[in-house]
């Protein structure tokens, strides 16, 4: 039991020692770089990369990126972008880790676009295009989405490199785009654009200038059907390549096979491609082998040799399997790309949503603003209406006192119409006026009767004076309730004396006497147009105490000898003649 415990303790101690050793070993790698500046770390990483010490190079690049990623200094930020670009290339070419390669290159692209560094950005876009192009070889999609994305990146790299005059990147972008079409087609538009740039802009001393120029000349000749010129240009292109550029030799052989394919010399095309496999100086990468076996299978099928086509197809799948074993997490790269598209779509949706919210807020502000303006206008209208009502109420008495001439004419017209309707009644009443003679007889009889009564002349003259004084007071007699009893009360006598005096002195009854004074007042008011011109005839008659229209017309006709309207017209005519 004791021995077992010692064994366990020994194992634990050994495990901890190994952990400590690993930590110290890692620290020994990292510590030399902790206090270095961004420039120093980048220089060390470059030196390690040239000497093929890729682990140390990646440590330097990674520490630089993690330490200075959020710096505000543009120069340091540029170094971070370059480090990410180098890390992406290292992961892609040496470690075959496409996920990390894509992440590093995408972040580097963001940094260079933010800093408007088109030269470095065009290089990053070129490498991203290579990544998508290689990915399409292994997982070709039916909709060719990866291939389309690769070409878009190449085109963008070409545009940026032309703008920044990065001629070596221009040449690389053109070569990659041209080789995407070969050997089965030629991008004539791309050739036209590149030919002008080669002639007018790119210096001949630029790296890959001769290769690019011969590729453009050869593809132009091939497109025009000048196969000898095309073959001559591609042979010259192949001979100009040194042993240190095996991929360029592979491209030249593919171009030569394109000429033989256009001439339908399938055996010659197969020999051109097969030479790539037999050339000891050629490339040995699995992706190139995969492409070569794919072309050999197609060329053999075109030549009618299905057996060799099947054989090369099997070799193609073997090369593909070998490449997939070498590549780290290729399939997750597809997921990464899809996630990137999803993020972009989500970003667009979020921007559209924010735009909709802005429009809603703007519309709400407009509605609220219009509501406030409407409320203010409504309130002002209400206040104005109240003020107008107050003014109207204040002017209402004046409007009643001074009506317009049109209102007066309208009232006179209505009065005349009513007067015409009652003409028959008035005529009948006038016929009955003949009965006044009996009244006079009665008055004479009353006189005789009163003459017999005892009343001194002094009392009689005194009462006549008081009666005339009361009848001369228009305020009293124009009261519609004025009567013989009220006159008697004002005079201070009795009704029999007053009635006797009225009949003896005036020769008429009290009612006829009162109507005479009232009619005189009516005539005076009708003549006074300044004070009473705004009143109608009927209003004037009511103002002097007549309660009914018929009584007024009868009294006016009896005292004046004409109708009130005729008298009014007579007054107007006299007034016009005076003017």
**pLDDT, tens digit, 9 for 90 and up, residues 514-541:** 899 999 999 999 888 888 888 888 899 9
Of the candidates 137, 93, 148, which has an alpha carbon nearest to the alpha carbon of residue 328?
93
Looking at residue 54, its pLDDT comes to 83
The residues, ordered by sequence, that sit 6+ positions from 490 with a Cβ below 8 Å of its Cβ are: 466, 470, 476
Tokens matching residue 75 = 């120069």
CB atoms within 10 A of CB 452: 7
Tokens matching residue 318 = 């073997």
198 burial (CB, 10 Å; 0-12 / 13-18 / 19+) is: buried
Across the chain, what does the average pLDDT equal? 78
Q: Which CATH superfamily is domain 36-165 in?
A: Tetratricopeptide repeat domain (1.25.40.10)
The answer on pLDDT for 55 being more than 70 is yes
**pLDDT, tens digit, 9 for 90 and up, residues 26-54:** 444 444 444 578 888 899 898 988 888 88
Cis peptide before 293 (omega within 30 of 0): no
**pLDDT, tens digit, 9 for 90 and up, residues 159-173:** 999 999 899 998 889
The listed range with the strongest mean pLDDT (88-92, 149-153, 355-359) is: 149-153
> In which band, very low, low, confident or very high, does the pLDDT at 239 lie, cut at 50, 70 and 90?
confident
**Rounded distance between C-alpha atoms, residue 272 and residue 190, angstroms:** 25
> In which band, very low, low, confident or very high, does the pLDDT at 280 lie, cut at 50, 70 and 90?
very low
Residues 219/224/226/229 CA torsion (nearest 10 deg): -30
**Rounded distance between C-alpha atoms, residue 411 and residue 574, angstroms:** 21
* Structural domain boundaries in the chain: 1-26, 36-165, 329-384, 405-578
Instruction: Output the DSSP codes for 405-416.
Output: HHHHHHHHHHHH
**Rounded distance between C-alpha atoms, residue 67 and residue 146, angstroms:** 34
43 to each of 35, 65, 77, 93, 152, how far by Cα in Å? 14, 14, 15, 21, 33
pLDDT average, residue stretch 90-110: 86
**Rounded distance between C-alpha atoms, residue 518 and residue 505, angstroms:** 19
Lowest-confidence range among 113-122, 283-292, 365-374, 540-549? 283-292
Tokens matching residue 196 = 């002008």
Of the candidates 193, 91, 87, which has an alpha carbon nearest to the alpha carbon of residue 134?
91
> 405-578 — its CATH code?
1.10.10.60
**Rounded distance between C-alpha atoms, residue 218 and residue 236, angstroms:** 10
> In which band, very low, low, confident or very high, does the pLDDT at 390 lie, cut at 50, 70 and 90?
low
Instruction: Output the DSSP codes for 16-34.
Output: HHHHHHHHHHHHHHHHHHH
The answer to whether the beta carbons of residues 70 and 62 sit under 8 Å apart is no
């Amino acid at each position: 039991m004791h021995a077992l415990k010692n064994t366990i303790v020994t194992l634990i101690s050994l495990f901890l020692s190994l952990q400590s050793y690993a930590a110290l070993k890692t620290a020994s790698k990292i510590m030399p770089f902790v206090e270095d500046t961004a420039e120093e770390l980048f220089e060390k990483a470059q030196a390690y990369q040239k000497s093929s010490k890729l682990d140390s190079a990646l440590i330097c690049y990674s520490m630089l990126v993690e330490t200075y990623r959020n710096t505000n200094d543009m120069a340091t930020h540029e170094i971070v972008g370059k480090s990410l670009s180098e890390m992406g290339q290292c992961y892609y070419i040496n470690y075959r880790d496409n996920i990390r390669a894509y992440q590093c290159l995408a972040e580097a692209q963001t940094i260079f676009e933010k800093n408007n560094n088109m030269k470095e950005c065009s290089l990053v876009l070129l490498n991203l295009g290579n990544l998508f192009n290689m990915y399409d070889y292994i997982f070709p999609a039916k909709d060719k989405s990866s291939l389309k994305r690769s070409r878009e990146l190449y085109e963008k790299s070409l545009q940026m490199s032309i703008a920044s005059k990065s001629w070596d990147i221009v040449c690389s972008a053109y070569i990659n785009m041209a080789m995407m079409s070969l050997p089965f087609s030629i991008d004539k538009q791309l050739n036209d654009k590149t030919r002008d740039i080669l002639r007018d802009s790119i210096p001949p001393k630029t790296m890959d200038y001769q290769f690019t120029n011969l590729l453009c000349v050869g593809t132009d000749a091939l497109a025009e059907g000048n196969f000898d010129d095309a073959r001559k240009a591609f042979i010259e292109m192949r001979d100009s390549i040194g042993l240190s550029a095996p991929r360029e030799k592979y491209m030249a052989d593919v171009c030569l096979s394109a000429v033989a394919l256009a001439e339908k010399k399938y055996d010659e095309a197969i020999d051109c491609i097969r030479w790539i496999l037999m050339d000891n100086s050629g490339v040995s990468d699995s992706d190139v082998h995969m492409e070569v076996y794919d072309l050999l299978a197609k060329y053999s099928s075109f030549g009618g040799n299905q057996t060799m086509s099947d054989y090369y197809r099997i070799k193609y799948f073997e090369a593909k399997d070998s490449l997939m074993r070498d590549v780290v997490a290729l399939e997750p790269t597809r997921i990464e790309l899809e996630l990137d598209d999803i993020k972009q779509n989500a970003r667009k949706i979020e921007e559209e949503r924010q735009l909709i919210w802005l429009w809603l807020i703007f519309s709400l502000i407009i509605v609220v603003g219009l509501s406030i303006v409407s409320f203010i206008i409504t309130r002002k209208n209400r206040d104005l209406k109240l003020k107008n009502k107050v003014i109207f109420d204040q002017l209402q008495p004046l409007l009643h006192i001074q009506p317009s001439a049109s209102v007066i004419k309208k009232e006179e017209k209505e009065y005349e119409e009513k007067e015409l309707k009652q003409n028959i009644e008035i005529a009948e009443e006038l016929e009955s006026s003949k009965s006044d003679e009996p009244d006079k007889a009665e008055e004479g009889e009353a006189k005789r009767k009163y003459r017999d009564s005892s009343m001194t002349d002094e009392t009689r003259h005194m009462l006549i004076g008081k009666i005339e004084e009361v009848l001369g007071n228009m305020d009293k007699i124009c009261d519609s309730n004025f009567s013989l009893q009220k006159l008697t009360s004002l005079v201070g006598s009795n009704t029999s004396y007053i009635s006797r005096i009225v009949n003896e002195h005036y020769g008429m009854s009290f009612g006829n006497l009162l109507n005479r004074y009232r009619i005189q007042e009516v005539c005076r008011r009708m003549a006074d147009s300044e004070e009473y011109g705004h009143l109608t005839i009927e209003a004037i008659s009511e103002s002097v105490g007549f309660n009914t229209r018929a009584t007024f017309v009868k009294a006016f006709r009896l005292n004046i000898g004409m109708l009130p309207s005729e008298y009014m017209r007579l007054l107007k005519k006299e007034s016009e003649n005076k003017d």
